[in-house]
A and B are shown apart, each in its own frame.
Chain A
Amino acid sequence: MMDFATILQVFDSTVRLATPLLLACLAGLYSERAGIYDIGLEGKMLAAAFFSGAIAAVTGSVWLGLLAGIAASTALSGIHGLAAITFRGNQLISGVAVNFLAAGLTVVIAQDWFKQGGRTPSLIGGARFTPVKLPLADTLREVPILGPIYYELISGHTILVYLAFAMVPLTWWLLFRTRFGLRLRAVGENPAAVDTAGVSVVGNRYAAVAICGLLCGIAGAYLATALQAGFVKDMTAGRGYIALAALIFAKWRPWYALSSTLLFGFLQAIALRYQNIDLGGVVVPVQFMDALPYILTVVILAGFVGKAIPPRAGGEPYVKER
């Protein structure tokens, strides 16, 4: 019933759909490992999607679009950081505020600039990321099994996809092999230990939040300029929240984050491809398939995945005790 080519297509689609989840999940990983909960991944991606789409549409350059997306997302990160780190506010409320801000502003600004009902014009040519053909893809295409895998699955994605996957080992290395990572993990576990060691808690937390903004910016730009051709209202469609669920599922570890976001990406790919599944007379409705990734999110968040220990100082502003 499912031939080899179909399987490859589903996997190919899995990779495409997992990419924004992976980037957002890693973004959250940096932030939460440093003790700053970030429920605003969704809003940051959305803002980045809009600004990258808008600037790419106006300038015709996808790279300028990407930069604009990153700038927008990092600005929102700055707001979250200011509220959560400097003013020691509630991190959940600040994150929710970021989400509301992005959901409202993107549509209003899009309508004002482009008058197309809250969307940007469709991106064409250099305003979009184009697939990269890896070396020898055509030559090896005819090799049985491995050829198609290389050609269909591994080759032919945009540069951002490769970047996202490369971020996994890079993040692991940064967190567990460098001074920066040691300090970043320490502020998320026991900021007092970092403070008494003479290292700035605030500085480390801002650095983590800035990286979070950067990665969310790339994730958002990917949605508008690579996965789709332009921004549409609410185009993140809860991906920020799914990334958060994936982060918990991954127990705040980079390699686990890769597998958990691939799982969510796979579910989305299945939902996209098989709109009605016929299970011997019972037809699973399309709505159920579309809802599946979200249902799994709820199940995971409800704690069906076993014990996940979050960073111990997560969500708590650092105040020197008396």
Chain B
Amino acid sequence: MAGTQTAGRSDGAAPAIELKGISKAFGPVQANKDISIRVMPGTIHGIIGENGAGKSTLMSILYGFYRADAGEIFINGTPTPIPDSQAAISAGIGMVFQHFKLVQNFTVLENVILGAEDGALLKPSLSKARGTLKRLAEEYELHVDPDTLIEDLSVGHQQRVEILKALYRAADILILDEPTGVLTPAEADHLFRILENLRREGKTILLITHKLREIMHITDTVSVMRRGEMTATVKTAETSPENLAELMVGRKVLLRVDKKPAAPGPNILEVENLRVVDDDGVERLKGVSLNVRAGEILGIAGVSGNGQSQLLEVLGGITRATGSIRVNGQEIDLSGRHSDGQSRRARGIAHVPEDRQHEGLIMDFMAWENMIFGYHNDPAWQKNALLMDNPAIRADTEAKMARFDVRPPNPALAAKNFSGGNQQKIVLAREIERNPDLLLVGQPTRGVDIGAIEFIHQRIIELRDAGKAILLVSVELEEILSMSDRIAVMFDGRIMGERLPGETDEKELGLLMAGMNGKAA
């Protein structure tokens, strides 16, 4: 099905994609402002920018998901209006969304043919797709078992299905939106190999990301977006990560975290032989032991889904477990009636959960209401036996919002109306300002823009320097390496090993994360 391809890289050819003066507003928010861009055929073109810079909106316009308020789209030099996804597909554009658009309980084959069936009956389409998939798999290293259900596939394989869907529809232009956010380092490397194969076959690739490393690694050209505008387009070979970061944020940013060496004190947290069996009877933690000392950050690295979430949940009092947890030398109730978040907080454990939108905040509640969750029984917030002291809570929230630079600093705004970074600052402010002995932090900067990442990292390090213990769980290896004083790697519910950040690298950690023990070569 994949169409034949002739376009080369000659700069004289018409651009595969050309956008002229694209603008799009959502109500008062100008998501895209007069954007123009040329993407040459047979290249990998990166689009980089902070969250909310308008990258995804622009790509959605190109894929016919939204209609631009103004501007023109040219495909291979021809003006091509794209009012809907069908038009984009006919124009040879395929898109791999950040959140995959797959039907979970369909097979790979069924997902691939959905919308591209050849007739009213499925059988001929299915057997044709089976053949095409086999060919594509060999051509581009896109191997997936066609008869597996999507829900049984790893995230990396699901992404391959998305790419196969686009290729099956004869896409010559492939848009990938934050493709590596959910992948392990090995899976990401495989993806880059696939992209290089596609480029070699003459396909044009638009790669949207906020990871500078990827841009430097694989793109030919890179465009930077900031606040809805295209601020620069440069050849990748002629730029540097620092330069791009500055273009993204509009000022210099520290890519490395600035911190003093740790001065660890006594053990705050001691965990021994922790085991968790989930509702489906699957053992999620298989005897985890670790300790965190005062004044240090223990980073837990690992591909998501290897028990880190359960570890945080047990420590935070959300999940029950067997084994032993001691905080400040005192045993904690792990499975009894008092094993809950409240009792953990009473013991000086604060928890910034991985999923801030579901566990950290109530999205429809206002910021000041969110600011006391978990601590709402605190006598300081009670006016009398019946009523809460709302003015005091609001005033306190205002002060915390100022200290944590939450924007806009409006306590009456609902949590859902803040950006990801500012939502995270609200949660952090709530937990850190309680001055806990132990702070549990899960994915502190997931979906957070670069400016806020820096701020969040500094706050966590300040807490460490104040002599508190911090357990940091993150799937971002860079974050683990730059933040941690010690690193533990989890795989399949176990700690695979501990390393010191100065004495290891991403390669060794990557091997441990993939379950390969022993010293890396």
B369 to chain A, nearest CB (A): 24
* B101 touches which of A183, A192, A322 (Cβ 8 Å): A192
Which residues of chain B come closer than 8 Å to A134, judged between CB atoms?
Answer: none
Contact B110 A182 (CB under 8 A): yes
Which residues of chain B come closer than 8 Å to A189, judged between CB atoms?
Answer: 103-106
Within A20-70, which residues are at the interface with B (CB < 8 Å)? none
Within A94-135, which residues are at the interface with B (CB < 8 Å)? none
A196, closest chain B residue (CB):
B101
Which residues of chain B come closer than 8 Å to A194, judged between CB atoms?
Answer: 114-115
Given A179-B125, A189-B104, does the pair A197, B114 have CB atoms closer than 8 Å? yes
Task: Indicate if A219 sits at the interface (CB-CB under 8 A).
Answer: no
A272 to chain B, nearest CB (A): 39
Contact A193 B103 (CB under 8 A): yes
B118, closest chain A residue (CB):
A179
A190, closest chain B residue (CB):
B103
Contact A183 B85 (CB under 8 A): no
Which residues of chain A come closer than 8 Å to B114, judged between CB atoms?
Answer: 182-183, 186, 193-194, 197, 199
B516 to chain A, nearest CB (A): 35
A193, closest chain B residue (CB):
B101
Task: Indicate if A141 sits at the interface (CB-CB under 8 A).
Answer: no
A183, closest chain B residue (CB):
B114
Which residues of chain A come closer than 8 Å to B116, judged between CB atoms?
Answer: 197
Chain A interface, number of residues (Cβ within 8 angstroms): 22
Which residues of chain A come closer than 8 Å to B517, judged between CB atoms?
Answer: none
CA distance A320 to B67 in the complex (A): 12
CA distance A150 to B110 in the complex (A): 42
* A322 touches which of B26, B102, B103, B113 (Cβ 8 Å): B26
Task: Indicate if B122 sits at the interface (CB-CB under 8 A).
Answer: yes
Task: Indicate if B243 sits at the interface (CB-CB under 8 A).
Answer: no
Task: Indicate if B86 sits at the interface (CB-CB under 8 A).
Answer: yes
Given A178-B122, A197-B85, does the pair A320, B115 have CB atoms closer than 8 Å? no
Interface residues of A: mostly helix, strand, loop or mixed?
helix
Task: Indicate if B192 sits at the interface (CB-CB under 8 A).
Answer: no
Task: Indicate if B97 sits at the interface (CB-CB under 8 A).
Answer: yes
Task: Indicate if B336 sits at the interface (CB-CB under 8 A).
Answer: no
Question: What 1/0 flags go to A289-322 for Cβ under 8 Å of B?
Answer: 0000000000000000000000010000000101
A32 to chain B, nearest CB (A): 15
Interface centre among B57, B97, B117, B165 (most CB of A within 10 A): B117
Contact A198 B120 (CB under 8 A): no
Task: Indicate if B346 sits at the interface (CB-CB under 8 A).
Answer: no
Interface centre among A181, A197, A322 (most CB of B within 10 A): A197
A169 to chain B, nearest CB (A): 16
A175 to chain B, nearest CB (A): 11
B63, closest chain A residue (CB):
A196
Question: What 1/0 flags go to B48-81 for Cβ under 8 Å of A?
Answer: 0000000001000001011000000000000000
B140 to chain A, nearest CB (A): 20
A313, closest chain B residue (CB):
B103
Contact A198 B104 (CB under 8 A): no
B107 to chain A, nearest CB (A): 11
B265 to chain A, nearest CB (A): 47
Within A179-213, which residues are at the interface with B (CB < 8 Å)? 179-183, 185-186, 189-190, 192-199
Instruction: List residues of chain B with CB under 8 Å of any chain A CB.
Output: 26, 57, 63, 65-66, 84-86, 88-89, 95, 97, 101-106, 110-111, 113-117, 119-123, 125, 165
Closest 10 CB pairs of A and B: A197-B115, A198-B86, A193-B101, A179-B117, A199-B115, A198-B85, A196-B101, A189-B103, A190-B103, A192-B101
Q: Other than the known A179-B121, A194-B114, A322-B57, what 10 A-B pairs have Cβ atoms closer than 8 Å?
A: A178-B121, A185-B106, A195-B101, A196-B65, A196-B85, A196-B95, A196-B101, A197-B101, A198-B84, A312-B104
Instruction: List residues of chain A with CB under 8 Å of any chain B CB.
Output: 177-183, 185-186, 189-190, 192-199, 312, 320, 322
